[in-house]
Amino acid sequence: MSNLKHVAIVGATGAVGVEMLRCLEQRAFPVGELTLLASARSAGKTMKFKGQDITIKELTADAFTGVDIALFSAGGGISKEFAPHATAAGAIVVDNSSAFRMDDQVPLVVPEINAGDLKNLPKNIVANPNCTTAITLMALYPLHQAFGVKRVIAASYQAVSGTGAQAIEELEAQTREWARSERKWDDVQVANEFVKVYPHQIAFNALPHVDSFLDDGYTKEEMKMENEGRKIMHHPDFRASVTCVRVPVFRAHSVAVNAEFERPISLEAAREVLSAAPGLDVIDDPSLKQYPLALNVAGKDNCAVGRLRIDCALDNGLAFWVAGDQLLKGAALNAVQIAECL
Ligand code: NAP
């Protein structure tokens, strides 16, 4: 490969794809040629990169000729079908979907944690982790290195942009509809025609339902923390009991975590470890009302951790609140960081 890369973005028009384009530009990734791919609906439209209009092409099996790195972000089905075409054409695929995350032959990477796993790419595919997992691990992994994490109990507060562009539109439409009607706070139900993406209204609500339910009552999303956490941290005994909640926030996920460690942990030691962690800001001064907020981390590369306290119900436990822009660290930024490592 030369220094300048031919990069393709599959799903360029999506919530994540748009951010991938922005990350490539902002981080001055050495792009020699850029191929933007999406569905037939978007083919022929243009997107801007470094001030130039690039025409979007329809994703087809032969769209990857000459591509060095293909960033996939168009859903698991598309990845399963088209990633093999990309690798057959000689590209390395960085896949943002869940299609390959638990494949033994595919490294699952958060560069700040396990960039070393990129040395071995038997399928020429790298998987990008689940967004809630990636954001949580940005704080949990440094603590694990210092104190040895045994298990976590966590609840997520997940933004609608985590579901994609249609969900962003849905929260906008529901909120506008209520505001337009000039009804009061005790009359916030919107008409069914505004409820399409989620099973219930998301505006003014909290849905304890992210992804589909498994037989044991957890959702697929909830089990990603344990399954993907084990793989990324190289920690097969890690346990996680998670409740994932969708909230009417446009951008950035927050996670309340209660973590139990092998070794004793103090607040001072935890703060020291977290302050030195890459890609993470410690914002933790409750007396000044300073703690991580979704609104403040939205659009930022770094995740933020705060509300640190010794857990009163766990042995060697720490409770904390971690927030991060899931379109960035949970998706586009992490994918571009992986591409940089490659
Ligand atoms: P999205 O906003 O719905 O975007 C979907 C993208 O896929 C669009 O560019 C769409 O193109 C394209 N697409 C759909 N059907 C296609 C087809 N048949 N052929 C080619 N392209 C097609 O979704 P998103 O939120 O960006 O998520 C994309 C992927 O990233 C998913 O696998 C998701 O699980 C994963 N992910 C998302 C996040 C997040 O925060 N959103 C975080 C981590 C991982 P058109 O515009 O032409 O329809």
Does residue 279 line the site of ligand 1, with CB under 6 A?
no
Token match 């045994």: residue?
150
Ligand 1, atom 35, lies closest to the CA of 97
Does residue 324 line the site of ligand 1, with CB under 6 A?
no
pLDDT of amino acid 305: 99
pLDDT of amino acid 184: 96
Does residue 13 line the site of ligand 1, with CB under 6 A?
yes
Task: Examine the pLDDT at 70 and tell me if it is beyond 60.
Answer: yes
Assess whether 81 and 30 both reside in one domain. yes
Assess whether 258 and 123 both reside in one domain. no
The answer to whether residue 179 sits within a structural domain is no
Instruction: Tell me the pLDDT band of 113, cut-offs 50, 70 and 90.
Output: very high
Residue 245 sits in a domain whose CATH number is 3.30.360.10
In the residue annotation, 131 being an active-site residue is answered as yes
Instruction: Tell me which DSSP letter residue 301 carries.
Output: S
Distance CA 94, CA 127 (A): 6
Residue 113 sits in a domain whose CATH number is 3.40.50.720
Does residue 330 line the site of ligand 1, with CB under 6 A?
yes
The answer to whether residue 114 sits within a structural domain is yes
pLDDT of amino acid 90: 98
Assess whether 263 and 314 both reside in one domain. yes
Instruction: Tell me the pLDDT band of 2, cut-offs 50, 70 and 90.
Output: low
Tokens of 253: 């996920």
Catalytic residue among 131, 144, 244, 303: 131
Assess whether 66 and 138 both reside in one domain. no
Token match 């509300």: residue?
307
CA-74 nearest atom, ligand 1: 7
Instruction: Tell me the pLDDT band of 137, cut-offs 50, 70 and 90.
Output: very high
The answer to whether residue 295 sits within a structural domain is yes
Element (H, E) at 71: strand 69-72
Task: Examine the pLDDT at 1 and tell me if it is beyond 60.
Answer: no
pLDDT single digits (tens) 174-188: 999 999 999 999 999
Assess whether 82 and 142 both reside in one domain. no
Assess whether 124 and 215 both reside in one domain. no
Mean residue pLDDT across the chain: 97
The answer to whether residue 180 sits within a structural domain is no
CA-164 nearest atom, ligand 1: 25
Assess whether 140 and 243 both reside in one domain. yes
Distance CA 20, CA 37 (A): 12
- The distance from CA 204 to its chain's CA centroid, rounded to whole angstroms, is 23
How many structural domains does the chain have?
A: 2
Does residue 148 line the site of ligand 1, with CB under 6 A?
no
| Among candidate residues 190, 119, 162, 183, the one with its CA nearest the CA of residue 341 | 119
Tell whether residue 16 is among the known ligand binding residues. yes
Query: Percent of the chain, pLDDT > 90?
Result: 99
The answer to whether residue 272 sits within a structural domain is yes
pLDDT single digits (tens) 193-213: 999 999 999 999 999 999 999
Ligand 1 center to 45 CA (angstroms): 16
The answer to whether residue 302 sits within a structural domain is yes
- When pLDDT is averaged across residues 6-26 and rounded to a whole number, the result is 98
Assess whether 153 and 45 both reside in one domain. no
pLDDT of amino acid 109: 98
Query: Percent of the chain, pLDDT > 70?
Result: 99
User: What does pTM read for this prediction?
Assistant: 0.97
Assess whether 203 and 124 both reside in one domain. no
The answer to whether residue 101 sits within a structural domain is yes
Ligand 1, atom 30, lies closest to the CA of 73
Structural domain harbouring 262 = 133-165+195-326
Assess whether 288 and 337 both reside in one domain. no
Assess whether 161 and 97 both reside in one domain. no
pLDDT single digits (tens) 30-46: 999 999 999 999 999 99
Assess whether 288 and 146 both reside in one domain. yes
pLDDT single digits (tens) 294-335: 999 999 999 999 999 999 999 999 999 999 999 999 999 999
pLDDT single digits (tens) 225-280: 999 999 999 999 999 999 999 999 999 999 999 999 999 999 999 999 999 999 99
The answer to whether residue 79 sits within a structural domain is yes
